[in-house]
Each structure stands twice: as C-alpha cells, then as structure tokens.
Amino acid sequence: MVESAVVTIKDKSFKPFIEADKIQSRIVEISQEINRDFERNNPLFLSILNGSFMFAADLMKSISIDCEISFVKLASYQGTKSTGNVMTLIGLDAEIEDRHIVIIEDIVDTGKTLSELLPNLKRHRPESIRIASLILKPEALQHDIHVDYVGFEIPNDFIVGYGLDYDGLGRNLRDIYQLKS
Ligand code: 5GP
Ligand code: MG
C-alpha cells in the first residue's frame, strides 16, 4: 500500500521517501545475509530502542536460524563536566560474554551513538559484534563506524516514519518520509 500524500507533523511537512514495500523487500534481503553469516552461531540481536522497534520486528520475521533478541536503550543525560552529553546503556539483561552480537539500529547519522555504545558492549567481552542499520547517512558520518548490514544509504536530510520520530511523533508511519525543503 502506498501512502503518497505529504504528511504534516507539528510545524513540518514531510514527503514520501521510501515506500513500505521497498522497506520490506530490502529487510528480507538483509535477513537472508544474516541467516547465511550466522548459521549455527545463535546470534543475540540487540535492538536499540526506541527507533529500531519496527525494523527489529520485521527483520526477525525473516530470520530463520536459531537466535535470541534483547532490547536496550541509551539514556542520554547532561554530564556534569564540560564534555556534554554522556550516554549510558540501560536494560542489558542478556549475558553477552562469548556471544555473537548483532546490533539493530534504525539509523546511523554521525555515528556518535554507536561510538559510545560499542566500547560499552565490548567490556562484556562478546565473541563478535556486527551492526545492522536500516538507514545510513554516509555524508553525516563523523566517527569510525562500520555498518555491516545497511538497508538504505540516504542523503543528509531528516526523515520520519517506520520507527523514526519527529519530536516523538511519526514512528507509526509504515513508509519513510523526508523533510520537505
Ligand atoms: P547518531 O548521530 O548518533 O549516529 O544518531 C543519533 C540518533 O539521531 C539516531 O539514533 C536517531 O534517533 C537520530 N537521527 C539521526 N538522523 C535522523 C533522522 O533523519 N530522522 C530521525 N527521526 N532521527 C534521526
Ligand atoms: Mg536510534
């Protein structure tokens, strides 16, 4: 189904960008790669909330190998030092030592989130860590992050829908929309 109309969220207008069908077929392709790469590895997927909940759910439907999934959140708070925002990982209840981890992200923009998350996870000594992100903005990347499974590479414009929000709204949209300039 195609939602072809422009959507308005609060003060901004968004135009259709990636249709639901296209998202779904790309996710099936990614899941097939993961099925091949992690056969017999019993990977542990770590879905980074909130944005990745839809991608994680749809991805898992096409993962046919033995696997587990857990959900974590990065809480950002204002540090007391001049270093600014510090991000802490909350909700990591799974034992990740010696496990093959696949991080599920909605979008990698500057890469800051992952550059803080990865050292945090590595302290728990997983066997391997790979990253699956539905969206990558290559022009925005400022950190040395390699995304192993990329759904779509897009230009450096703001998007909403399919889990991604604008000020808390728009996560429920089945298509992805781009901010109208
Ligand atoms: P980072 O810059 O750390 O890679 O991305 C941080 C976070 O910014 C992402 O997880 C996501 O929540 C948010 N973000 C980055 N680009 C966009 C975008 O185009 N749309 C939305 N809705 N969120 C974004
Ligand atoms: Mg995110």
Q: DSSP letters of 67-106? A: -EEEEEEEEEEE-SSTT-EEEEEE---S--TT-EEEEEEE
Distance 179 CA to ligand 2 centre (A): 18
- Considering the domain 20-179 in this protein, what is its CATH number? 3.40.50.2020
- Please state the pTM of the whole predicted model: 0.94
Distance CA 100, CA 9 (A): 39
Beta bridge partners of 12: 9
Enumerate the domain spans of the chain. 20-179
Residues with CB under 6 A from ligand 1: 51, 106-113, 158-160, 164-166
Q: Which residues are catalytic?
A: 109
Q: Dump pLDDT digits (tens) for 5-36.
A: 999 999 999 999 999 999 999 999 999 999 99
pLDDT for 110-159, tens place per residue?
999 999 999 999 999 999 999 999 999 999 999 999 999 999 999 999 99
Atom of ligand 1 nearest to the CA of 106: 10
